[in-house]
Structure 1
Amino acid sequence: MFEIKGLKFKGILDIQYLQINKPISCIIGPSGSGKTTLLRMLNSLNIPDEGRILYNGQDISKIDTVKLRRKVVMLGQNPIIYSGSIEDNLQIGLEFSKKLPASKSTLIETLKRVELNKELSEGCANLSGGERQRLCLARVMLMDADTYLLDEPSAALDKVTEEFIIDNFSRFVLENKKELIMITHSEHIAQKFLESIIRIENGKVTEAYHE
């Protein structure tokens, strides 16, 4: 999946070598350690000062960014909600990716997967922070990417909902033979992926799984 060689970025990251090649990888570490910066680099939102990032053997600097972001979809910490209905917000990711709209039955099934009990016709103005996060998770699921990059995907959720969402998203990834790279501050969530942990401290990898 991803192979990182000699990566340096603005004094924030200094990674000599890192391979991310499991179906689910969990990135942990203290605040300010460079986790989000690394995730953004995997999606070409940040460009390395030095080094290379390979995705399935190809240097991502040589991949058209639109094509890359169809295959590698990122969901940031702050959920972005667009004007319109729940359905509009679910379909817009597919529209951005120039893919065909999903059927209403697929939309409803995806909402169930993230436990968002809303009608497709409802507006989004009054959604809580947790509901917004769940709606964004459903949106990226629908985009049918090869690899998902999630930055604190359950940060706005209570512990029970957090566990439900992570378990369901992980199952979705495994069932559909996709990959998930996830940042979390939750020790509880990290414990679920002990064999898939990558730890970053002060911009350096201090722990990484080995095949």
Structure 2
Amino acid sequence: MFILKSVIYKDILDIDYLKIEKNKITSITGESGSGKTTLLRLLNKMISPDGGSILFNGEDIESINSVELRRKVAMLSQSPVIFEGNVRDNLLMGLKFSEKNLASDETLIDILKSIHLKKSLDENPSNFSGGEKQRLALGRIIVMNPDVFLLDEPSSALDDDTAKDVISSLCSYVKANNKTLIMISHSKALSREFSDEIVELKNINSEKDGK
């Protein structure tokens, strides 16, 4: 799926070699400043490395059209973006941006159930709590049906019980549909419970990054 070779990015990342397997759930862990979010941004081609190469399914990521890549590799940032409009509009926004066919209301309702968000499609999310907005943004990524999910702290605004329910549902979806999930997690317990692989990044100022 992804292979990183001699990847350097500023004074944040220095990775000799890292392989992230297809159809696996991989958690990225590490202390603050170790480059976890930077790694996800590199995999989504939001930024480019200063040195080295990143391969996606055997192809250099720099040679892949950015729009085409993001149709297959979708990223959810830690601070969820909520768009104007109702819940339906927000769930469909990713499909509109990527110029994919829009999903039916039935599909959207099923996704709301899977992320434990008890809201109607016609509700305005502007007054949702932080956790509700995070789940809505996660639902927007799921409805896009990418091959790879890149999630930056997807449960950071959720209480422990809800976080476990949401991550469990997401991992079940990933496994059932042969997807790949790469997520940054602040919870070591959730990482151990749900991950096939755990990649630990260490601060470049003290020690080279590694697996």
TM-score range, shorter chain: over 0.9
- The letter for the 2-side match of 1:14 is D
Match of 2:199 in 1: 198
* 2:126 aligned counterpart, secondary structure: coil
Structure 1 residues 145-184: aligned runs within 5 Å: 145-184=146-185
Match of 2:19 in 1: 19
Structure 1 residues 28-43: aligned runs within 5 Å: 28-43=29-44
- The letter for the 1-side match of 2:165 is F
Alignment partner of 1:9 is 2:9: yes
Deviations 1:16-54 (A, max 9, x none): 100001511011000111010011000011110000000
Structure-2 separation of matches of 1:164 and 1:193:
11
- The letter for the 2-side match of 1:205 is D
Match of 2:82 in 1: 81
Root-mean-square deviation (CA, aligned residues, Å) is 1.0
Q: Percent identity?
A: 50
Report runs of 4+ in structure 1 exceeding 6 Å deviation: none
Identify which range, 111-120 or 195-204, moves more after superposition.
195-204
Match of 1:51 in 2: 52
Match of 2:111 in 1: 110
Gaps in structure 1 of 5+ consecutive residues: none
Deviations 1:52-94 (A, max 9, x none): 0000000000000000000000000000000100000001111
Structure-2 separation of matches of 1:40 and 1:169:
21
Deviations 1:78-125 (A, max 9, x none): 000001000000011110110111001000000000010001011011
Equivalent residues of 1:198, 1:205 under 8 A apart: no
TM-superposed CA distance for 1:205, in Å, is 3.1
- The letter for the 1-side match of 2:15 is I
* 2:118 aligned counterpart, secondary structure: coil
Closer, same or farther in 2 for the Cα pair 1:194/1:96, shift >3 Å? Answer: closer
Structure-2 separation of matches of 1:177 and 1:191:
20
Equivalent residues of 1:9, 1:48 under 8 A apart: yes
TM-score, normalized by length of structure 1?
0.96
Matched positions, count: 207
Equivalent residues of 2:26, 2:195 under 8 A apart: no
* 1:3 aligned counterpart, secondary structure: strand
Equivalent residues of 1:4, 1:16 under 8 A apart: yes
Match of 1:132 in 2: 133
TM-superposed CA distance for 1:156, in Å, is 0.3
TM-superposed CA distance for 1:184, in Å, is 0.6
Structure-2 separation of matches of 1:129 and 1:34:
24
* 1:174 aligned counterpart, secondary structure: helix
Closer, same or farther in 2 for the Cα pair 1:194/1:141, shift >3 Å? Answer: closer
Gaps in structure 2 of 5+ consecutive residues: none
Equivalent residues of 1:111, 1:138 under 8 A apart: yes
